[in-house]
Structure 1
Amino acid sequence: MLRNVLLACLALVIAVGGGTLSAWYAVNRFDGFGALTVGQWTGHPEAGTPLSDPYAKARAAREGAFPLGSAEGLAFYAYSDEQGRALDRRCSYTIKGNSPNSRFWTLYAADRSLIPLTPGMNRLPALHSRQIFRQGDGQFVVLVSPKAQPGNWLATAGAGRMVLVLTLYDTPVGSNSGLVDMTFPAIMRTGCDG
């Protein structure tokens, strides 16, 4: 009798614990179905549409996110550099390359909850495509660092992990049929103060 009660309790603990952990993982860590990954950048073209999967809907509801519609634009997130190391606010990075086809884009750093970092006074919290300096071949170089940098500088502050958010507005990338240039800038770590 006692053995049956213990087995029932064990099954209940496994069911409740496993269900809770799987729900937490699905809402917090799972990228969802239909993720579009190019290099270090990951976007969700179906977010904000009726085709969005239930996990993406739950994550958006939990975070209070309001994703752009498919005709408006698409946000891409980078959590690591080209070597697979998590992005750290105390480190410096070089983002180099071209952005995919879009009418306008923005780039900013955020914490892991996707809340934009506030780098402090006299520092720009974000960059956009119409304010950056470009090289002769059209490529750009953005320096992400807590310390002042020459040229295109995206300031960060604090300690801990961060996410780079590249939002493309009026872009055909989400409905890519193979005819759209899918090159994204590379993210390289250049130094670290921690």
Structure 2
Amino acid sequence: MFRLPIYVLLSLSIAFGGGTWASIRILKATSGFGAITVGPWQAFPELQTADADPYARAHRADDGRLLFGRAEGLVFTAARDSDGRALSALCSYRLDGQTPPARFWTLRVTNRAGTPVAPQPTTPRSLQSWRLLQDNDGTFHATIGGRPHPGNWISMTGGGDVKFVLTLLDTPTAASVSLGEVHLPDITREACDDA
């Protein structure tokens, strides 16, 4: 007598639970379409525009973060080094190269969820364009890791996988469709504490 309602209730709970789980998993798996990839760096310039795809809009609604419009800036993230290995907080990395022209830019380290990685006390947690040591040709060299280095250095502690986040503000790159001229720094793994 109660067998049919129990089967219906079980079927509905599996359907709704499975659908919700699948939707959340798909949203976490992709940030949308239309990615710009330059070496290990990736950006989504359409994320805040009216042309954004449904996945990007869902990410924007789920994250609750304020994103940049096309004319305001562009955020590049790197989850792997230039050789394709996942970035880890247990390793130190060297960045060499240039950034696209921008009025201001910052470089910081986050975990995979986007939360900033806590540095050691009284050590630099990010780099910015106004306090950067550069060569005469505009290139720069920076080290990201747990041990202090001379020059440009970002402190990174803890464990687990990390991302490097390069935020360009007021840059013509955001509106550019020609990506052949975009140059971003190479990421080279130097040493790891667990090896």
Given the two structures, how large is their TM-score scaled by the length of structure 1?
0.87
Identify the residue that residue 138 of structure 2 maps to in structure 1: 138
Cα deviations by residue, 1:108-145 (Å, 9 ceiling, x for unpaired):
00011111112032112111011110123220011000
Contact 2:81 2:189 in 1 (8 A): yes
Percent identity over the alignment?
Answer: 40
**Per-residue deviation, 1:16:** 5.6
Contact 2:75 2:168 in 1 (8 A): yes
Cα deviations by residue, 1:71-91 (Å, 9 ceiling, x for unpaired):
110101000001111100110
The answer to which of 177-186 and 152-161 deviates more is: 177-186
Identify the residue that residue 99 of structure 2 maps to in structure 1: 99
Distance 1:56 1:177, change over 3 A: closer
Identify the residue that residue 78 of structure 2 maps to in structure 1: 78
After TM superposition, the structure 1 = structure 2 runs for residues 4-43 of structure 1, keeping only pairs within 5 Å, are: 19-43=19-43
Contact 2:31 2:59 in 1 (8 A): no
Identify the residue that residue 192 of structure 1 maps to in structure 2: 192
Cα deviations by residue, 1:32-75 (Å, 9 ceiling, x for unpaired):
11111111111110112222222112222222221111111010
Tell me which amino acid in the other structure corresponds to 1:142.
A
Tell me which amino acid in the other structure corresponds to 1:154.
I
Q: Distance in 1 between matches of 2:189 and 2:69?
A: 33
Q: Which 5+ residue runs of structure 1 have no aligned equivalent?
A: 1-7
Identify the residue that residue 151 of structure 2 maps to in structure 1: 151
Contact 1:101 1:180 in 2 (8 A): no
Q: Which 5+ residue runs of structure 2 have no aligned equivalent?
A: 1-7
Q: Distance in 2 between matches of 1:74 and 1:31?
A: 14
Given the two structures, how large is their TM-score scaled by the length of structure 2?
0.86
Q: Distance in 2 between matches of 1:192 and 1:120?
A: 17
Q: Distance in 2 between matches of 1:15 and 1:39?
A: 41
After TM superposition, the structure 1 = structure 2 runs for residues 38-187 of structure 1, keeping only pairs within 5 Å, are: 38-178=38-178, 181-187=181-187
**Per-residue deviation, 1:157:** 1.1
Contact 1:36 1:45 in 2 (8 A): yes
Q: Distance in 2 between matches of 1:120 and 1:180?
A: 38
Q: Distance in 1 between matches of 2:34 and 2:177?
A: 15
Q: Distance in 2 between matches of 1:105 and 1:139?
A: 14
Count the aligned residue pairs.
Answer: 190
